Chains A and B, each alone.
Chain A
């Protein structure tokens, strides 16, 4: 089976830190990706976690706990341009390139 939970909307102020949580139920779980999508734009890849722990890419970090079926995206030093929708997308073993996106989390960054 497959289920995915993310908050629908998060609001934060410029310069702050925000964490977007993702819990999943994915048969044969393999890894967790994160994507960003600005209004009217295409989703763009942010990060991938195949192993437990933290992956850091500049201001963005992503965490995975396979035992808890949980991950999060951490955005630091928020900027106005970070206002966008963020999607976690688990993949399963041997379902090549079948990514399970959900409805995503809309992040609103306020001045």
Chain B
């Protein structure tokens, strides 16, 4: 069974540009979450999508956005890049039964997209 796939793995952008990152979840997983990881702040929740709907959102500015497609693949976009956006962006998928309550713990993470903003 293929794992979570994120593309691109590495990218370099300059301030003011925008970037789109892609995530393909494990087959059958309908929930996709995005996290930002930096040395100073650790892992921070960005947002979570389930059945093409954003269910949860973290405390990030509106420059950070995402979407999910009908095949559960997800993209996140960061516009007007700032130096502080340099980070590892991790995507995680999980089996989530929607109205059944929170997931009982297991997220499957991809290897991440490492973004460097110059």
Contact = CB atoms under 8 A, between A and B. Distances in A.
Are A and B interaction partners?
Answer: yes
Interface stretch (B15-23, B42-50, B63-71): B42-50
Interface in B35-56: 35, 40-45, 48, 50, 55-56
A95 B44 CA distance: 15
A86 to B, nearest CB: 12
Q: A interface, by DSSP: helix, strand, loop or mixed? A: loop
Could you say which interface size class chain B belongs to? Answer: 20 to 34
B109 A95 contact: no
Interface residues of A, number: 27
Contacts, number: 88
Interface in A58-96: 87, 91-96
Contacts of A43: 43, 90, 92, 107, 109
B55 to A, nearest CB: 5
Given A43-B107, A96-B102, A97-B107, 11 more contacts: A45-B108, A93-B101, A96-B48, A96-B96, A96-B101, A97-B102, A97-B103, A98-B45, A98-B56, A101-B42, A103-B40
Interface in B90-114: 90, 92, 94, 96, 98, 101-112
Interface of B: 4, 31, 33, 35, 40-45, 48, 50, 55-56, 58, 90, 92, 94, 96, 98, 101-112
A6 to B, nearest CB: 9
Nearest to A95: B56
A99 B41 contact: no
B99 to A, nearest CB: 9
**B35, B41, B102, B111 pick with most chain A CB within 10 angstroms:** B102
A15 B94 CA distance: 34
Contacts of B103: 91, 96-97
B111 A97 contact: no
Given A42-B90, A103-B42, A104-B42, A97 B55 contact: yes
Contacts of A47: 105
